[in-house]
Chains A and B, each alone.
Chain A
């Protein structure tokens, strides 16, 4: 079976590391971008099954990335998990831009559960 691709976009190295471990454990091939610009560049290269993205980042932030790909065809086949530490940022706007919002600190059991589900929903 072809391995599923996942992209993590977060400016915090530790968070990226944690998501990478959990995603790899769930069977994904993981790539990491530490800012929105790199994330957008990577998104153009291949079809990702899942995008895990932080909101608050320097430069192009999570909203910027999500708004950019909102009407792109890649959006149709990709699940978007927003992970944010800022409860104030969780606006209704996010409902349209993403499929799932998790608040930091993320419970890895919940995350794993979500990743497994996404994997089955091909």
Chain B
């Protein structure tokens, strides 16, 4: 015989023995006089606990235990000797045994099927499943089979069949309600912190519980309701362990008292007393379990929230680090780009220096006289070299602006003097065209203003350069004036070819030149205006364009007026 088979047989035998003993004790002590109905049938609880822990292989033990218990009861009730064989007794006890087996199996099946199979009292839903299905529903089975068997066997008069059925049902249910949670929860010892306060709380709350239980059910002073706050405290402080143990103790007092004719549940009619007792125990356990489950769910939710918070925090930290790295990489890339462009600019300028230098030397006749044709061509070489230089400068400017290297460089300047100097500088731009250029100072412009002179100069030079490009002949005017107490403006007005509104809209986009019939012969990188726009933005200003095709354009830059 295999070891495991032997184990199962031993297990079943032990269970049968325990079940039978418990049922005899239940019948012996749990009976409320003058009847023979059992108040709390503990064996039904034992059966559920055993099947829950060991599985369906212990069902035969339940059946056997129930058979022994009931056959013994039959013999006792009929005052028969153990040696006497009664076929009726065997049949009735066997039927009840079958009922007990079905009741226990069904109860455990439903509990495991509809709640957390390992931890069936951890949430409110599981508590409902336990009370409604495991305790109440499955106990209908044996109550029906048992009471019917007793009636059929002639052991109870048909008149009390209904009453027996009811007490049987509720007695079995109460046995399950009290014992199953107690054993299932207490299979693990409670994890209590062993600090003095917790221990004191546990000791005093249980002393209080038992004290009140004793007064209510032994002393006969009806203060059962005082058990509720104590029980609530125990549940909240000591969880399911406290709840199951507390209810077990209360039930003990209630059964003891009621059986001995003490306490609020004692009635003339036995069945009434039983119903009150069972209802009380059921209610107390249900309340305790629900409260505990609710508390557990809340704690679980809080743990989840805390966990989520931790995860979030971790993610935020990770993301911040990633961003810092990305930022560092971007900045490093930007620095590398700026350095690269500066280096390239240097590399471009060196050969340009040779081209322009030799052109100058030849043009200045340092190496002998040249024919006018040769001189003109050398002029073309120089023009193109300077155009290339313009491209390089623009690229360098854009790179500076994009890498955020711009710094504010403000100083006080004499307004008219400053713009007159710029005017002298830009006059060379118009040298080859029939263009007059002048400045107009509005009388309200302050004599001295605080400005970033190099940037304003670059803005004016760019705008005038642009105006020259698009003005075949005519007039360019630089206007400077005060717009309000907080703003001044500079405008560059030309009498050039002008632009359509559509062209105005795309004007400041990098590398996007207005391309059409009128502009195809005009040189430029398309970067100049974009640089101008970015410089104006940097100075917290605004640039505005009015243009009429064929009549000319006005570029107006509005800038904050900084008082001295």
The chain A residues found within 8 Å of chain B, CB to CB, are 12, 14-15, 18, 21-22, 25, 56, 85-88, 103-109, 112
Q: Contacts A21-B361, A86-B342, A108-B361 given: A15-B353 contact, CB under 8 Å?
A: yes
How near does chain B come to A115, taking the closest CB pair, in angstroms? 12
Q: Which of B301-347 contact A (CB under 8 A)?
A: 342, 345-346
Cα–Cα distance between A45 and B366 once the two chains are bound (Å): 29
Give the nearest-CB partner of B366 in chain A. A25
Option from B357, B361, B385 in Cβ contact (under 8 Å) with A15: B357
User: Which residues of B lie under 8 Å from residue A105 when comparing CB positions?
Assistant: 349, 352-353, 355-357, 385, 389
Count of B interface residues, CB-CB < 8 Å: 21
Q: Contacts A85-B346, A105-B349 given: A112-B354 contact, CB under 8 Å?
A: no
User: Which residues of A lie under 8 Å from residue B389 when comparing CB positions?
Assistant: 105
Closest 8 CB pairs of A and B: A108-B360, A85-B349, A18-B357, A14-B354, A104-B353, A105-B356, A105-B353, A86-B346
The chain B residues found within 8 Å of chain A, CB to CB, are 342, 345-346, 349-358, 360-361, 364, 366-367, 385, 389, 396
Cα–Cα distance between A25 and B364 once the two chains are bound (Å): 11
How near does chain A come to B66, taking the closest CB pair, in angstroms? 99
Q: Is the CB of B353 within 8 A of A106?
A: yes
Cα–Cα distance between A105 and B354 once the two chains are bound (Å): 7
User: Which residues of A lie under 8 Å from residue B357 when comparing CB positions?
Assistant: 14-15, 18, 105-106, 108
Cα–Cα distance between A105 and B383 once the two chains are bound (Å): 13
9 CB contacts below 8 A, A to B, read A21-B366, A22-B361, A85-B345, A86-B345, A86-B346, A103-B349, A104-B353, A107-B356, A109-B360
How near does chain A come to B344, taking the closest CB pair, in angstroms? 11
How near does chain A come to B560, taking the closest CB pair, in angstroms? 28
User: Which residues of B lie under 8 Å from residue A85 when comparing CB positions?
Assistant: 345-346, 349-350, 353
Q: Is the CB of A108 within 8 A of B385?
A: no
A25, A87, A108 pick with most chain B CB within 10 angstroms: A108
Give the nearest-CB partner of B365 in chain A. A25
Q: Is the CB of B364 within 8 A of A109?
A: yes
Give the nearest-CB partner of B363 in chain A. A108
B342, B350, B367 pick with most chain A CB within 10 angstroms: B350
User: Which residues of A lie under 8 Å from residue B345 when comparing CB positions?
Assistant: 85-87
Q: Is the CB of B364 within 8 A of A108?
A: yes
A56, A87, A105 pick with most chain B CB within 10 angstroms: A105
Cα–Cα distance between A22 and B349 once the two chains are bound (Å): 19
Cα–Cα distance between A63 and B508 once the two chains are bound (Å): 40
Give the nearest-CB partner of B367 in chain A. A21
Option from A18, A104, A109 in Cβ contact (under 8 Å) with B349: A104
Cα–Cα distance between A103 and B353 once the two chains are bound (Å): 9
User: Which residues of A lie under 8 Å from residue B385 when comparing CB positions?
Assistant: 105
Besides A18-B354, A104-B353, A105-B389, 6 more A-B contacts (Cβ < 8 Å) are A12-B350, A85-B350, A87-B345, A88-B342, A105-B357, A107-B360
